[in-house]
Amino acid sequence: MKATLTQLVAAAALTLGALPGALAATITISCGSNAADLEWCGKYAEEWGKKAGHTVKMYTPPASTTDNLALLRQQFAAKSADIDVLMIDVVWPGVIKDHLVDLKKYSKGAEAKHFPAIVANNTVDGKLLGMPFFTDAGLLFYRKDLLEKYGAKVPETWDELAAAAKKVIDGERKAGVADFQGFVFQAKAYEGLTCDALEWVASFGGGEIIDKAGNITINNPNAAKALDTAATWIGTIAPGGVLNYGEEDARGVFQNGKALFMRNWPYAWSLAQAPDSPIKGKVGVAALPAGPGGKKSATLGGWQLAVNKYSKNIDAAADLVMHMTSADIQKKRAIGGSYNPTIVDLYKDAEIVKANQFMGDLLPVFTGAVARPATVTGLKYPEVSRAFWDATHEVLSKKSNGADALKKLEGKLKQVKRTGW
Ligand code: GLC
């Protein structure tokens, strides 16, 4: 019997398909820039690649989330297919919504196991634009050994933090550690400063910059007081250089044993506890302090995995997203890299809590974290945040004071809002 041409082609396709790697794709994933990100993402992405028969390539984005977003927006404008899987910040879905794949078809309801607020954050116009990967909240890292040595306690208020910092700086510098610092944090002019400053403002009862209804609330005396208070730290308990610090700069100083307190995200825990860390075993983690009359506040951060709409391999990319955000991988990343899971049940996992006691102790900090006004301002969030961090940076560098800077900021935000949020 003679085979038709169609039959022959079909048979050839089948044979080809059976060959190992015949349908293999190269999937490029962007999932953070520091050593821990590369290790704890790369390992599991490559594992998936081997199983699925695809090659995985790691793309290292810029360390600052602000630079990362700027670069991505250029790539989207060019409809670039270079990166298939993107790690996106919790404040980005409304900004880059037009360039991401709706993952509902791939998730098949798996998002129901994750924190509902994060899923809601990632859902824009009914589309699930990112699967939650890990969540973040600002934390206070402190040197247990030094607090003990100087008879100071973990600070409940910013005033207590400043007083303890002063005492320990004086003692350590006298003892010969000339460059010892009291408090390091993120005060470079970028998104990280928005996060730190929102914590100060919220903890002084100064609100959330813009409320959930879209009203600009930042020009108020409590917010001004918060920024003025933070300005007093620069050059006293914090080094002047903090005005140019991102997360990794602050961690560098703290992990070298040169600071008493550090404000940072959970990832810093596993690195501080690493075998080669000079401060291994000497670190404690607490909620950030409260301002006068306010309450302890942490900014909500966190990252999602999303698929680039211009990817040439959307199905494979989405499969990798579902693998990386699964309970199994979130658990491994939590134990190894102290990335906070977004799957609610994992907070009851004994192995996770054993590796990261703060995840159990500080659960309310994570569930009660203050969101930046990204959902309400949508596409305009980057402008709003930039205006806020610029105003804050001016106060911290003593070019302005809280009241003047916030009045000016209010005017600027009104302009941005002129055409609506
Ligand atoms: C962390 C947070 C992210 C935030 C960034 C600021 O990566 O998870 O939400 O925007 O820090 O630097």
* pLDDT beyond 80 at 314: yes
Q: How far is CA 354 from CA 344, 358, 363, in A?
A: 17, 9, 14
pLDDT of residue 101: 98
pLDDT of residue 17: 41
Cα separation, 419 vs 215, whole angstroms: 14
Taken in order 351, 357, 363, 366, is the CA torsion positive or negative?
negative
pLDDT of residue 409: 98
Q: What is the mean pLDDT of residues 47-71?
A: 97
Task: Decide: 317 and 307 in contact? Cβ < 8 Å.
Answer: yes
Distance in Å, CA 65 to ligand 1 centroid: 7
pLDDT of residue 35: 85
Q: Is the CB of 93 under 6 A from ligand 1?
A: no
Which residue's C-alpha comes closest to atom 11 of ligand 1? 192
Q: Is the CB of 90 under 6 A from ligand 1?
A: yes
DSSP annotation of 188 reads S
* pLDDT beyond 80 at 388: yes
Q: Tell how strand 55-59 and strand 26-30 pair up.
A: parallel
Structure tokens at 75: 């790539």
pLDDT of residue 13: 42
* Amino acid identity, position 262: M
Q: What is the mean pLDDT of residues 303-315?
A: 98
pLDDT of residue 23: 81
Q: What is the pLDDT of residues 276-298, one digit of tens each?
A: 999 999 999 999 999 998 999 99
Q: Is the CB of 195 under 6 A from ligand 1?
A: yes
Q: Is the CB of 249 under 6 A from ligand 1?
A: no
pLDDT cut 70: percent of the chain above it: 95
Distance in Å, CA 237 to ligand 1 centroid: 24
pLDDT of residue 355: 97
Distance in Å, CA 404 to ligand 1 centroid: 27
Q: Pick from 96, 199, 265, 392 the residue to mutate for probing ligand 1's pocket: most ligand atoms within 8 Å of its CB.
A: 265
Distance in Å, CA 303 to ligand 1 centroid: 8
Distance in Å, CA 276 to ligand 1 centroid: 26
Task: Write down the pTM of the prediction.
Answer: 0.94
* Residues paired with residue 321 on neighbouring β-strands, in sequence order: none
300 CA closest ligand 1 atom index: 9
Distance in Å, CA 338 to ligand 1 centroid: 15
pLDDT of residue 14: 43
| Cβ density class 85-118: b for 16+ within 10 Å, e for less | bbbbbbbbbbbbeebbbbbeebbeebbebbbebb
90 CA closest ligand 1 atom index: 9
pLDDT of residue 116: 96
